[in-house]
């Protein structure tokens, strides 16, 4: 099976390689997940550069989040998840490969109504959006929150949290198509002075 591997820390463009590696087998309380997608996030690049708080033993495979299908499991919890589509949190990295083994406690079943492009960031972005809006900024009900990069996964989660906690968002995006989509599906959007609704 294929995996993205780095043998030394450095610029991702220089040190990341695609390699054939053995298929991992789950141990007790673990599951093997056939990965469908894994995002590329800042923490992944910082890890590859050796600049993150945690440095993996080399050689290593990056990727902390992802979505996939449980292929095999050992133990009560692991066996119950076989065949399920799950979000995968691999706190030490490793999701940038075709199949990954993690603790069964590090996978969460995902509804069929949640598309892969949202499930892939199930852990980090929702926590970031919640902590930022509820604990750091403490956005009160009926207040307005101006955010840039509103078309990103994180930005869309902030919009959804606003609906849930009754604060409103003004959403700045880079491209006209993103503005139109947010206007159609999510409410107020700002794309220059003439494009605000809400």
Task: Render 41-86 in DSSP notation, one character per residue.
Answer: -HHHHHHHHT-SSS-PPSSB---SEEEEEEEEE-HHHHHHTTT-EE
**Catalytic entry in 6, 52, 123, 167:** 52
User: What is the Cα–Cα distance from 172 to 158, expressed in whole angstroms?
Assistant: 12
Residue in 87, 95, 90, 78 with CA at minimum distance from that of residue 114: 87
End-to-end Cα separation, the chain, in angstroms:
50
- 37 has pLDDT over 60: yes
**For the residues 155-174, what does the mean pLDDT come to?**
90
Which percentage of the chain shows pLDDT scores above 70?
91
Per-residue confidence (pLDDT) for residue 176, from 0 to 100: 85
Query: Does the domain made of 124-185 have the CATH classification 1.20.120.1200?
Result: no
Report residue 145 as tokens. Answer: 């929150």
Residue 22 — very low, low, confident or very high, per pLDDT cuts 50/70/90? very high
- 198 has pLDDT over 50: no
Residue 186 — very low, low, confident or very high, per pLDDT cuts 50/70/90? low
Query: Coil, helix or strand for 144?
Result: strand
**For the residues 159-183, what does the mean pLDDT come to?**
88
Per-residue confidence (pLDDT) for residue 183, from 0 to 100: 79
Domain 2-119 class? alpha beta
Q: How do the residues of the chain divide into helix, strand and coil, expressed in percent and rounded to 5?
A: 30, 25, 45
Is 54 assigned a catalytic role?
no
Q: Give ranges for CATH 3.40.50.720 in the chain.
A: 124-185
What pTM, to 2 d.p., does this model score? 0.75
Q: Give ranges for CATH 3.90.180.10 in the chain.
A: 2-119
């Amino acid at each position: 099976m294929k995996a993205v591997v780095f043998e030394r820390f450095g610029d991702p463009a220089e040190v990341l390689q695609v390699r054939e590696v053995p298929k991992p087998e789950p141990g007790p309380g673990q599951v093997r997940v056939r990965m469908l997608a894994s995002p590329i996030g800042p923490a992944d690049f910082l890890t590859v550069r050796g600049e993150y708080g945690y440095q993996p033993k080399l050689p290593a495979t990056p990727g902390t989040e992802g979505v996939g299908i449980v292929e095999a499991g050992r133990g009560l919890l692991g066996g119950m998840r076989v065949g399920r589509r799950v979000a995968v949190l691999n706190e030490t990295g490793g999701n940038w490969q075709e199949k990954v083994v993690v603790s069964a406690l590090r996978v969460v079943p995902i509804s069929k109504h949640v598309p892969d492009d949202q499930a892939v960031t199930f852990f980090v972005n929702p926590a970031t959006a919640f902590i930022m809006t509820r604990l750091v900024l403490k956005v009160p009900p009926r207040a307005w929150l101006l955010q840039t990069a509103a078309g990103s996964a994180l930005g869309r989660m902030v919009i959804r949290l606003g609906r849930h906690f009754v604060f409103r968002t003004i959403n700045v995006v880079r491209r006209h198509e993103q503005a139109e989509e947010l206007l159609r599906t999510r409410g107020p959007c700002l794309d220059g002075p003439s494009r605000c609704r809400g």
